């Protein structure tokens, strides 16, 4: 691999490592979305929730502000007792007051499975890009770029599935939530999509054969055809 090309690959790989870190953080944390019910009365408690691909956390918050009545419970950063439980994708009856079990089971299983596919593509891409630094293995840059681009696409699909999941919960008459916002785990996943997808495309471009600077070079180097 030429030194100039090697430098470009190293820069792209550094950006990819940042994207992998962001995606791994998003997958293992549970701050994709924060949900709030309506506050019915002050000097009482309300229960907000935040969740990710694998776990739901509920937080009991004591409300004292007079103007909080009728608004959403929170913010989630207020002190309170927190209780977290894993979805187990899903045990019917558990967390039924938070999720519509039938629908949310499909959404969360889909989002989690797609995220795992993304991680698998990232592992394959990393193996290819590390192997490409060996002598005469430049051809591995192309599959590496494809794997990272696929990882980025899987990430954004997982993000969209989770977004639809939250929207369906808010719109449903069977849940108590009136407000929501996406939190830092969601932002990590979106950042991972941008970094992985663009870096994957960059690797594909780097792996392409270099075009001649002068378009006449190819013609001048060609052997003349014999005149009959």
pLDDT tens digits, 92-107: 555 544 554 455 567 7
Predicted confidence at residue 43, as pLDDT, reads 63
- pTM, 2 dp: 0.76
Which pLDDT band, with edges at 50, 70 and 90, does 85 fall under?
Answer: confident
Query: In this model, does residue 90 exceed pLDDT 70?
Result: no
Query: In this model, does residue 226 exceed pLDDT 60?
Result: no
Predicted confidence at residue 101, as pLDDT, reads 46
Phi (first) and psi of residue 81, to 5 degrees: -80, 130
Query: In this model, does residue 86 exceed pLDDT 50?
Result: yes
Predicted confidence at residue 33, as pLDDT, reads 85
User: What average pLDDT is seen over the chain?
Assistant: 78
Of 68 and 154, the one with more pLDDT: 154
Predicted confidence at residue 218, as pLDDT, reads 52
Of 39 and 190, the one with more pLDDT: 190
Selection from 183, 187, 124, 186 nearest residue 151 by Cα: 124
Q: What percent of the chain has pLDDT over 70?
A: 69
Q: How far apart are the first and last CA of the chain?
A: 43
Phi (first) and psi of residue 181, to 5 degrees: -155, 155
Mean pLDDT across 171-177:
69
Which pLDDT band, with edges at 50, 70 and 90, does 122 fall under?
Answer: very high
Query: In this model, does residue 138 exceed pLDDT 70?
Result: yes
Query: In this model, does residue 134 exceed pLDDT 50?
Result: yes
Which pLDDT band, with edges at 50, 70 and 90, does 11 fall under?
Answer: very high
pLDDT tens digit string along 33-59? 888 877 666 666 777 788 888 887 887
Mean pLDDT across 71-88:
69
């Amino acid at each position: 691999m030429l030194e100039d090309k090697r430098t470009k690959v190293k820069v792209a790989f550094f950006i990819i490592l940042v994207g992998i870190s962001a995606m791994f953080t998003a997958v293992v944390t549970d701050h994709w979305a924060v949900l709030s019910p309506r506050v019915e009365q002050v000097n009482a408690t309300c229960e907000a929730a935040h969740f990710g691909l694998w776990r739901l956390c509920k937080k009991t918050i004591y409300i004292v502000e007079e103007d909080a009545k009728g608004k959403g419970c929170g913010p989630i950063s207020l002190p309170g007792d927190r209780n977290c439980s894993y979805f187990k994708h899903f045990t019917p009856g558990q967390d039924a007051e938070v999720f519509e079990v039938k629908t949310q089971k499909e959404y969360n299983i889909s989002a989690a499975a797609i995220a795992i596919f993304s991680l698998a593509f990232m592992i394959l891409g990393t193996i290819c890009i590390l192997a490409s630094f060996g002598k005469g293995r430049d051809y591995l840059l192309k599959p590496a770029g494809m794997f990272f681009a696929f990882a980025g696409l899987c990430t954004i699909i997982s993000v969209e599935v989770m977004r639809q999941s939250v929207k369906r919960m808010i719109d449903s008459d069977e849940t108590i939530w009136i407000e929501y916002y996406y939190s830092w785990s969601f932002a990590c996943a979106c950042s991972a999509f941008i970094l992985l997808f663009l870096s994957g495309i960059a690797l594909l471009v780097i792996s392409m054969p270099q075009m001649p600077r002068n378009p006449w070079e190819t013609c001048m180097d060609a052997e003349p055809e014999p005149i009959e």
